[in-house]
Structure 1
Amino acid sequence: MNRVKVGIVGLGRLGRQHAENLAFRIPNCELSAVCSVILEEVEEVQKEWNIPYAYTNYDEMLKNKELDAIFIASPSGFHCEQIEKALNAGFHVFSEKPLGLYLEEALHVQEVVNMHKDQVFMLGFMRRYDKSYAYAKKKIEEGKIGEPFLIRCYGLDPAKAINGFMQFAKNNYSGGLFLDMAIHDLDLARWFLNAEAKQVWAIGGAYAYPDFSKLNDAETGAAMVKFEDNKMGIFVAGRNSAHGYHIETEIIGTKGTLRIGMVPEKNMVTVFDETGAVKECSDGFLERFEQAYLSEVEEFISCIRDNRKPNVTVEDGVLSTALGYACKESFETGELIMVQSPYHKLTNK
């Protein structure tokens, strides 16, 4: 295979970034088709980038046999259905996180993925492809901090993005704080600790923006998770960070500690002016993880060309969804939730 021809569905903020990477920054890749329910988005991208095919209907794009792969960057609630349709139509598939908003649909999609073993499926847990997080994983595997037993994660979105998110949430596209935002940190915890969750207790509230309560969601939430072998996870996620996009991770082991992103610096520049010495913060996830978003899609295209499977699997999507949904359930009920293996449910239907 010389060039992998890709069709993308979803041209929102993240989808547009992915589309641009596919079109201009990834070797041996061609963005051949774009799809969105918003006609103006489709027309703008097709005209500006000279894309051969444009659609407002996803099913119509799947009829295009010139394509090799489908890239799903649509709202979370559409992922499972679109993954299944694309795989059944014979395409390789990349889907943004989360795999699904409900455990049952995630398990169903896993069955579909496993029925199409000759096709590449990859899920967008891009932090695994961030250079700093990948370096931390390497240090853990080398035994630098001994056996990791605790992870602490902060994931805070900038306050200036709150209005856009509220519209997103009101359209029922989010899935809630823990499935939409904290899912990245929950995946990282499983990856770094090499353990699955057993219990979770989550709390949260709407502090500056009461409308979150009307959506049965949290503006800011926290979860404490007990993993296998008594390993621990502490997670804080929020939508109202005054200083900017703040992603911070700490992994504590028996012989040392790793910290990633303690101060969410935009770059290495310090501004000296009448306010003092200022280190500016990242504006958002597209800036902070620009390299990671590119690297994960480079891996997807390489897997197709090399006929191999990526390290991020559909099982990672199922298990992270199970943990995220348990956090959501604990937040909504106020109860300590036991996190049963989703495969236990599968074998006891």
Structure 2
Amino acid sequence: MEKIKIGIVGLGKLGWKHAENIAHKIPHAELIAACSATEEKIEKAKKELGITYGYTNYEKMVQNPEIDAIAIISPSKYHYEHIELALKNGKHIFCEKPLALTLEECEKIEKLVKEYPHLYFMLGFMRRFDESYAYAKQKIDEGLIGKPFMIRCYGLDPIDLVDVAIPFAKTSGGLYLDMMIHDIDLARWYLQSEGKTAYALGGCYVRDEFAQYNDIDNGVALIEFDNGSIGMFYAGRTCAHGYHIETEIIGTKGSLRIGTTPDKNMTSIFNENGVVKECCSSFLERFEQAYFNEVNYFINCLIHKERPSVKVSDGVLSTKIAYACQKSLDEKSIITI
């Protein structure tokens, strides 16, 4: 079977993981090109990933006729520009979340994607491709817990990484768009409904430096959905015990929980501290398989000419809710979405 030839833009921590997966693990994909702002990362990609083409100019990469699809793992502020150029040059697109940093740009991207119906677009909400989250969705669809009416989500980054998070906050879009949007997407997916109203609270409780970017280190949101269901969300950047992603879906006949304790693995340590379970330390550790699964799924969609299930509209609708949360935080009021 002929392989799908991929060019990737963005070789940061997540971009490199995707590049490694495409180059070495995904059977029907071939990484032939990479684009980065630094020559050092391009040379590293040539040496370790075996790419044929290296670019520091993104526009030149998308003009390469050998490339079938572009993986956009660049900083969020460039997503609109990178998506537009890829579409205009006839490339299929896999783009990591968020879709863009402003709702206006998200809506423009949605219109652009519709102008190129022969090209496939997928947004990278990777938790949908985590085995535990996918299993929970299967059980909900089977009616195991009856009709879901409430979801509770924790999305907590470790305090060990807070010094990296502070400068990143300048261009990330803020806690609600950068972090909580994952949980918002899950809520829409599980509850099968869109946001109606949002109320948010938060602050800089541990590190005041986030305030210079109009951002916070810990925040909560209460969201009412169109079908009457409720979402309770907590996102934070100062978790003492590690990287903690937890979700509970409550239905009329029961509930499901994913990640109640963020165990690193199945090992228990018995010592003077008692029984100790080590915790996950980062998003790449917790969702390593999910990142592989989502791109592998995208490649299979291209091969079989099937539209990806995660659409551009998912990015727009989740962003609307995230922005309503940010507006609620700023205005200290309930916002109608």
TM-score norm. by structure 2 comes to: 0.98
Partner of 1:273: 271
Choose the corresponding residue for 2:247, options 249, 253, 257.
Answer: 249
1:174 & 1:105 partners in 2: Cα distance? 15
Structure 1 residue 116: deviation in Å?
A: 1.1
**What count of residue pairs does the alignment treat as equivalent?**
337
For 1:219-258, what aligned pairs fall within 5 Å after superposition?
219-258=217-256
Identity rate of aligned residues, in percent?
55
- Give the superposed CA RMSD: 0.9
Could you say what secondary structure the match of 1:257 adopts?
strand
Counterpart residue type for residue 258 of structure 2: I
Counterpart residue type for residue 124 of structure 1: G
Structure 1 residue 50: deviation in Å?
A: 2.2
For 1:113-128, what aligned pairs fall within 5 Å after superposition?
113-128=113-128
1:19 & 1:322 partners in 2: Cα distance? 30
Partner of 1:303: 301
Structure 1 residue 119: deviation in Å?
A: 1.0
Could you say what secondary structure the match of 2:172 adopts?
coil
- Out of 247-256 and 47-56, give the one that drifted further: 47-56
Counterpart residue type for residue 133 of structure 1: Y
For 1:315-334, what aligned pairs fall within 5 Å after superposition?
315-334=313-332
Indicate if the aligned counterparts of 1:152 and 1:251 stay in contact, CA closer than 8 A. yes
Partner of 1:188: 186
CA offset digits 1:298-329 (Å, max 9, x no partner): 01100111111111011111100111111111
Partner of 2:134: 134
Counterpart residue type for residue 318 of structure 2: S
For 1:75-224, what aligned pairs fall within 5 Å after superposition?
75-169=75-169, 172-224=170-222
- Out of 293-302 and 45-54, give the one that drifted further: 45-54
Counterpart residue type for residue 264 of structure 2: K
2:38 & 2:296 partners in 1: Cα distance? 27
Indicate if the aligned counterparts of 1:39 and 1:56 stay in contact, CA closer than 8 A. yes
Structure 1 residue 271: deviation in Å?
A: 1.0
Partner of 1:282: 280
CA offset digits 1:134-174 (Å, max 9, x no partner): 111111111111110000000000111111111222xx320
Counterpart residue type for residue 269 of structure 2: V
TM-score norm. by structure 1 comes to: 0.95
Structure 1 residue 46: deviation in Å?
A: 1.4
1:299 & 1:83 partners in 2: Cα distance? 20
CA offset digits 1:177-214 (Å, max 9, x no partner): 00000010000000000011100001101011011112
Structure 1 residue 251: deviation in Å?
A: 0.4
List gaps (5 residues or longer) in structure 1. Answer: 340-349
Indicate if the aligned counterparts of 1:216 and 1:332 stay in contact, CA closer than 8 A. no
CA offset digits 1:257-316 (Å, max 9, x no partner): 011100000010001122221100001110101111000000110011111111101111
CA offset digits 1:72-106 (Å, max 9, x no partner): 00111111121111011100000000111111111
2:119 & 2:212 partners in 1: Cα distance? 42
Q: Any runs of at least 4 consecutive aligned residues in structure 1 with deviations exceeding 4 A, and if so which? A: none
Structure 1 residue 250: deviation in Å?
A: 0.3
2:16 & 2:161 partners in 1: Cα distance? 17
Counterpart residue type for residue 209 of structure 1: R
1:167 & 1:17 partners in 2: Cα distance? 22
2:191 & 2:227 partners in 1: Cα distance? 10
